[in-house]
Amino acid sequence: MSKKYFGLVALVLLLSLTLFGCGGQQAEEQPGGNEGQAEEINYDGEIKIGLMIPLTGSEATYGKDMENAMKMAADEINAEGGILGKKLVTISGDTAADPQQSTSAATKLVSSDVVSVVGGYSSGATLPTLNVFADANIPQVIPVANSTKIIDENPGNAVQINGTGFHQAEKALELFEDIWDVEKLAIVHQGDGYSEDLAKLTREAWEEAGHEVVAFEVINKGEQDFSSLVTSIKSKNPDAVYWTAYYADGALLIKQLRQGGFQGEIAVGDGSNSPKLMEIAGNAAEGVVCTSNPMVEYLPAAKEFMENYKTNYNQDPGPYSSLAYDGMHLMKDAIERAGSTDGDAIIKALKETEGFQGISGKTTIADNNALANSNFVLLEATGGQWQLIE
């Protein structure tokens, strides 16, 4: 018993010395342990910025991608001290790419006392919100929606940083005339603010150039059976079909055009630049060309952004992520140039933007409050992926 007792005491003493020793080492190393850790930032309040994106409905994939990119930008801004010393806080409004729900989302953001708004995906859902934000004197950066109707109806508080419908129609003509050398064109849209605008601008430009539009068709969003449309288009024998609306319905139309025996060229507008168009259409999408804003994978300045996006969200960034990311950084830049959160001062700064360098390229705002120079490129569906046509 005695040997066991002394043995136990010795063991306790040994453990105590070991723990004491470890504790002392920890105490000595603690200051060095903070090396590499970010210093805590003491913000002088908050700045709320609203995000207008579709988080539900058929365009939710685009919207979530944009929200991810804008929140990444917000995190980076906060890590660098925020805006005017204040922490940037984002509030998302779900537009569902629907005019009525978009108006409700805009009203919600106004009542949340946001200083400004970054967002606007579909033109049809963006148009009715322009006056909601203008009446509250809230500045807005619209990163995606590009209908020329926004130029006409913009009360003056918003700027567009994506190329407009004018720019996209020019790029479409370049494709049809210079690359495909076609003569007769069929154009199909869905009657919304974006697709109808692009369809009309393209028809006008094509006819002014001395060519023929043999079919100008409109279909309802969500239609599944295009057999009568395919028959009608084939009867007019166009050299090419240009679909100016969104990918979900566009993929079905492409599939049914090919199944129906149409062998001409097929092009789509930037609303269909999602890789999902090729997933849904399958082999029928092979060779389809898209008039599109620059895709993030072809932007040399976006390499770090792409890596961080994939690390944060375990997926690749989508086609509008770079513009959404740039939109948030541009808003921060404008607020700092304004030197305050006053709506008039920020709007003035946004309008005066010249040569702002983002990962998508340089942004200069023209007198019509839209992007001054076209950013549109041509992409070809090849092997299930979009490839840049140089």
Strand order in the sheet with 116-119: 87-94, 46-53, 116-119, 140-142, 158-160
Residue 77 token pair: 């801004």
Contact between residue 119 and residue 89 where contact means Cβ atoms under 8 Å apart: no
Packed helices 343-351 and 321-338: angle between N→C axes, nearest 10 degrees = 120
pLDDT in tens, 48-71: 999 999 999 988 999 999 999 999
Say if residue 225 is exposed, middle or buried (CB neighbours under 10 Å; 0-12, 13-18, 19+). exposed
Global pTM? 0.83
Cβ-based burial of 30 (10 A; exposed 0-12, middle 13-18, buried ≥19): exposed
Q: Tell me how far apart the alpha carbons of residues 379 and 92 are, in angstroms, rounded to a whole number.
A: 31
37: helix, strand or coil: coil
CA nearest to 124, candidates 157, 153, 166, 159 = 153
Model pLDDT for residues 140-188, shown as the tens digit of each residue: 999 999 999 999 999 999 999 999 999 999 999 999 999 999 999 999 9
- In this prediction, residue 38 has a pLDDT band, given cuts at 50, 70 and 90, of low
What token pair was written down for 268? 């789509």
